Amino acid sequence: MTELHYISTRDKNNRVTASQAILKGIAEDGGLYVPTTMPQLSLNWETLQHQSYQEIAFPILKAFLTDFSDEELQYCIHSAYDTTFDDPAIAPVKKVGNAYIMELFHGRTIAFKDMALSILPYLLTTAAQKNQQDKDIVILTATSGDTGKAALAGFADVPHTKIIVFYPKGGVSTIQERQMVTQAGDNTFVYGVKGNFDDAQTMVKKLFNDATLNQTLAEKGFQLSSANSINIGRLCPQVVYYVYAYAQLVKQGALQIGEAMNVVVPTGNFGNILAAYYAKQLGVPIQTLVCASNENDVLVDFFHTGTYNRQRKFEVTSSPSMDILVSSNLERLIFEMTGSNAEETKALMDSLTNNGHYHIEKEVLHSYEEFYAARASQEETAQTIESVLTKENYLLDPHTAVAQCAYTKYQQETKDNTPTVIVSTASPYKFPQSVVSAVKDSDVSALSDQQLIEEVHQLSGVEIPLAVTSVLEAEIRHTRVLEISEMKQSVYDSLNI
Ligand SMILES: *Cc1c(COP(=O)(O)O)cnc(C)c1O
């Protein structure tokens, strides 16, 4: 098998192996690593429909991570997708109304980030060994809520790693904040920052490119790496569940082999939906990819007009993990849209940084017809939660409700009845206040977390996950709140430099 290499979206001469791309996270030139060619797989659905999640993961990851041995991949897969998931299916697919919901929230932090962040530490430490890298890995992450905890849970007490997480103070749910500030592990550091997610993410990107910081860290035996969704070590594991979803629809008799399915993805940083697009290129019969946004609808405008304009009001919504104005992973699609032209991609991204916007020609955009974009307002999101519970007796979290609402709009507009998988990215237990207030007419702000969780239990009939009960009882270990300008110093502080 020929080796697959990765190049930076901003410099084609920046060419690395899969394990090096995982180690680096982001390229030195600020670009994102993309495979030089998309692997093609002959997917045998007769076989795949009977395989477990772990079995399906192997050929998919092998196609992307060609410099990992079979043994290394099996070790990573089986260390990640084990009993820390509370459903043996890992990503169960359930019929709800006229669509199929794929639940990606059965991992340790009850949100979809666990799908990739449970395997990333193993991919990363394996990649370090392969490259004779002797420095301790320092994971630096800005989070809009879910990544932070999922990364902390994945890396806590993993030897030769440290993890530093920045979250927007006041910009995440109470449960999300509690999950992070109670994180155990001597190698974990968590800071609230005074700013929104984009402010924090922009500063983290700057720190990665900060030559002085990197040099000082190297002298002290540390090497920065990213757990954000730009790392191919997160992107590739996410392709797996789209293959799994198709296999499940075949198994459940919803599809004949070869028939198309649609996917609806609640989108923020564009990682999850990009993985669906990669799955399509890999050979999964996916017809439409519905990109669902909340009121931060920068991607919806982009797909409708070709203009990406981050200069707009940042809305704090009931689906905070999608409150994003700069969707980093879109750069990989933009690179493809430019015909793999790194200079042009770099110019567009520079324009985004310097002018706040860029534009892709309509003709180019039109050749990406498989993308359909729709937004859901907060009110529509709440109504969706309520109506799906009433009609289908199934309780959606606000992110999944955004997707469900976008799908309803898609169906109304296109009358397309292709079997559709709605990607459920969080358990309703993660956002109890939004969920309960969507369903109850009364004011719920006086209810304690405990009471809200009890309400979610009553409404959904789903057992309270261990992830929730344990967090309510745990001790708070991380209390520091920083200005954005103090983030760099906090890295030194964390590492005792
Ligand atoms: C991160 C996240 C999203 C957005 O996913 P992207 O890959 O960033 O587009 C959606 N929902 C939840 C619950 C998330 O945690």
Q: DSSP H helical segments within 211-295, as ranges?
A: 211-219, 232-251, 271-282
Q: What is the pLDDT of residue 15?
A: 97
Residue 201 Cα to ligand 1 middle (Å):
15
What is the rounded distance in angstroms from the CA atom of residue 6 to the CA atom of residue 400? 32
Query: Do residues 145 and 172 make contact, with C-beta atoms less than 8 angstroms apart?
Result: yes
Cβ of residue 426 lying under 6 Å from some atom of ligand 1: yes
Residue 218 Cα to ligand 1 middle (Å):
32
pTM: 0.92
Residue 453 Cα to ligand 1 middle (Å):
22
Give the model confidence (pLDDT) of 458-487 as tens digits.
999 999 998 888 888 899 999 999 999 999
Amino acid at 140: L
Q: What is the pLDDT of residue 151?
A: 92
Q: What is the pLDDT of residue 443?
A: 85
Cβ of residue 332 lying under 6 Å from some atom of ligand 1: no
Q: What is the pLDDT of residue 101?
A: 98
Strand partners, 15: 7
Cβ of residue 288 lying under 6 Å from some atom of ligand 1: no
Residue 408 Cα to ligand 1 middle (Å):
20
Residues of the chain with pLDDT under 70: 1
Residue 2 Cα to ligand 1 middle (Å):
33
Q: What is the pLDDT of residue 449?
A: 87
Cβ of residue 113 lying under 6 Å from some atom of ligand 1: yes
Cβ of residue 238 lying under 6 Å from some atom of ligand 1: no
Ligand 1 atom 4 nearest Cα = 268
Cβ of residue 400 lying under 6 Å from some atom of ligand 1: no
**Ligand 1 atom nearest residue 266's Cα:** 10
Burial of 2 (0-12, 13-18, 19+ CB in 10 A): exposed
Cβ of residue 271 lying under 6 Å from some atom of ligand 1: yes
Q: What is the pLDDT of residue 441?
A: 74
Query: Do residues 61 and 77 make contact, with C-beta atoms less than 8 angstroms apart?
Result: yes
What are the residues whose beta carbons fall under 8 Å from the beta carbon of 253, sequence distance 6 or more?
A: none
What is the rounded distance in angstroms from the CA atom of residue 7 to the CA atom of residue 10? 8
Residue 476 Cα to ligand 1 middle (Å):
25
Residue 119 Cα to ligand 1 middle (Å):
17
The sign of the dihedral angle between the CA atoms of 410, 415, 421, 426 is positive
From 112, 264, 278, the mutation candidate for ligand 1 (largest count of ligand atoms within 8 A of CB) is: 112
Q: What is the pLDDT of residue 216?
A: 97
Among left, alpha and beta (phi > 0; psi -120 to 50; other), residue 436 is: alpha
Q: What is the pLDDT of residue 37?
A: 96
**Ligand 1 atom nearest residue 426's Cα:** 13
Output the average pLDDT for the chain. Answer: 95
Q: What is the pLDDT of residue 225?
A: 85
Residue 467 Cα to ligand 1 middle (Å):
18
Cβ of residue 399 lying under 6 Å from some atom of ligand 1: yes
**Ligand 1 atom nearest residue 113's Cα:** 15
Query: Do residues 405 and 380 make contact, with C-beta atoms less than 8 angstroms apart?
Result: yes
With tokens 């509370």, the residue in question is 86
